[in-house]
Every structure is written in C-alpha cells, then in structure tokens.
C-alpha cells in the first residue's frame, strides 16, 4: 500500500519546566496532562481515542481525525484544559504542579500504511510550540499560566477569521514567531493575558524567552482591543469590545 495524504488539524502540548524533577515526578505530571486532556476532550465532545496520540516525553502530539473542524481544538477544549490544570495545581504537592504550552496548526500530512504520520505541518507545529512568545506567555502571572496556547496564522484565519461562534478576534493577541529558520505571524491565547482579565498577569513580549525570574513582562503601549474571559459552566464565553471599558472581571485564580 502507498502512503496517502490528508488534511488534518494538529495539537501539540508541552509541560513547561519539566526538566530536573526526577523520573517519578515527571511520570506523575505526564499522567496529569493526559488525564486533563482526556477530560477536556470529553467536555468538548471529542474522543481522545480517535486521535493519533504521540507521547513526546514531556508532552504529547495529537493528530485529529479526518474532517474534524479546526475550531474544535480551540473552544471549549483549551479553556477546559486550562481549568483542569489549574484545579490540579490548587491541590498538588510541591513538584507536581504544571504549566502547559499548546500549539495548534493544520495541514496536509502523510499517513503511512504502518500507521506513522509525518509531514511539514509538524515542523511548523514544533516551531510554534518552541517559540519565545509562547514560552513567555506560560510564565505570565506570579504562579505561571495553566495553559498558554499559540495558533498558526493559517488556523487563526480559518477559525477566528471565519467567525466561528465563541471565537472572537479580541480573544487572541498577535505575536511574531521566530525559531531557527522559521518566521511567521501567530496568535496567542492564555487566561490572564491581555486577551483575558486585566490584572497581575501582564502581557507578552514576543522577544522574551522562558529564562529569568518568571515575573510577567512589562506592559507595552496601550491596546485598542480589550477582552474578558468569563467561565460559564464547562465552556468559556469570549466577549470583546473596543475603546475604554469598565468591567468587573472574574477571578481566574
């Protein structure tokens, strides 16, 4: 049998700061990620067993079933995953708390007869996941961000740009991704960011990395778009407005 090529949506997750915890702690937090992702998929009416799942050691890579709309990997999956990680962190013993970086992309991948999946879309996915803006977003706030996500320009245009319900443009902030030879615009989402409740979380500096004290970067110039994220049951409503706003935000902590 010859390989075939199919257009698929892709999601990659990486546990930030996983190194140096020891084998036992690493196995524990890997299990937490898998459990949280499975639960979030359930809320999003997705079956994790239908995805091609690859364990990457300190994270995972998912290839969505053929025909699954890209927007299904965003809402309510990402907010639900974030809440589950946050809830775990509230009760976790030292060394088992975690922050997760996520990247979403899509493209034509190669499916070999033996079941392996490959192709250039995975290169883009890896660059997004390793980008400085995403690493910096994961550090936002005094305790870090439960889940920080980055969307490729392609995914953003074909989900948010197409007006999918609940995916407002003000729920994402633009960033420039530069990793090795890869350079492209992308879009960030994370609770507590400029696209979430204003407060202690700060903003993203696209040029910063994950090193340093972990304090949020300084606020850049004023933005014209403000947005709030309000948890409602198992999902999330993204509300957007322009100009000055006087809003009482929900507490994500």
**Domain ranges within the chain, ordered by starting residue:** 4-242
Q: For residue range 225-248, what is the model confidence (pLDDT) as tens digits? A: 223 333 323 333 333 322 332 223
- Does 205 have pLDDT greater than 70? no
Mean pLDDT, the chain, as a whole number?
A: 77
- Does 91 have pLDDT greater than 80? yes
- Does 212 have pLDDT greater than 60? no
Q: Decide which of 17 and 56 is more confident.
A: 56
pLDDT at 227: 32
* Mode of pairing for the β-strands spanning 173-179 and 99-111: unpaired
Q: For residue range 177-186, what is the model confidence (pLDDT) as tens digits? A: 999 888 999 9
Peptide bond into 76 cis (omega under 30): yes
pLDDT at 194: 52
d(CA 235, CA 25) in angstroms, rounded, equals 30
Q: Please check whether residue 133 is in contact with residue 184, taking contact to mean a CB–CB distance below 8 angstroms.
A: no
Classified by CATH at the fold level, domain 4-242 comes out as Alpha-Beta Plaits (3.30.70)
Q: Please check whether residue 47 is in contact with residue 11, taking contact to mean a CB–CB distance below 8 angstroms.
A: no
Q: For residue range 105-161, what is the model confidence (pLDDT) as tens digits? A: 999 999 998 888 999 999 999 999 999 999 998 887 777 789 999 999 999 999 988
pLDDT at 233: 32
Burial class of residue 232, CB neighbours in 10 A (0-12, 13-18, 19+) = exposed
Give the mean pLDDT of 197-202.
Answer: 31
């Amino acid at each position: 049998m010859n390989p075939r090529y199919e257009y698929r949506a892709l999601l990659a997750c990486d546990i930030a700061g996983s190194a140096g915890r020891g084998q036992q702690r690493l196995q524990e937090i890997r299990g937490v990620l898998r459990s949280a992702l499975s639960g979030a998929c359930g809320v999003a009416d997705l079956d994790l067993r239908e995805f091609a799942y690859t364990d990457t050691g300190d994270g995972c890579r998912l290839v969505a079933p053929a025909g699954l709309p890209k927007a299904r990997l965003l809402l309510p999956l990402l907010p639900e995953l974030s809440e589950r990680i946050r809830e775990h962190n509230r009760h976790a013993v030292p060394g088992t708390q975690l922050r997760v970086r996520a990247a979403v992309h899509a493209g034509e991948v190669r499916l070999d007869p033996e079941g392996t999946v490959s192709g250039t879309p995975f290169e883009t996915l890896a660059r997004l996941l390793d980008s400085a803006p995403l690493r910096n977003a994961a550090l936002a706030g005094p305790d870090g961000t439960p889940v920080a996500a980055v969307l490729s320009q392609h995914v953003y245009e074909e989900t948010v740009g197409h007006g999918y319900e609940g995916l407002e443009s003000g729920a994402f902030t633009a960033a420039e991704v530069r990793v090795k030879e890869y350079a492209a615009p992308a879009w960030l989402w994370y609770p507590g960011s400029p696209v979430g409740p204003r407060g202690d979380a700060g903003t993203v500096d696209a040029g910063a990395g994950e090193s340093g004290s972990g304090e949020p970067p300084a606020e850049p110039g004023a933005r014209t778009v403000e947005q709030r994220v309000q948890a409602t049951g198992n999902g999330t409503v993204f509300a957007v407005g322009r100009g000055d706003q006087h809003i009482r935000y929900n507490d994500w902590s």
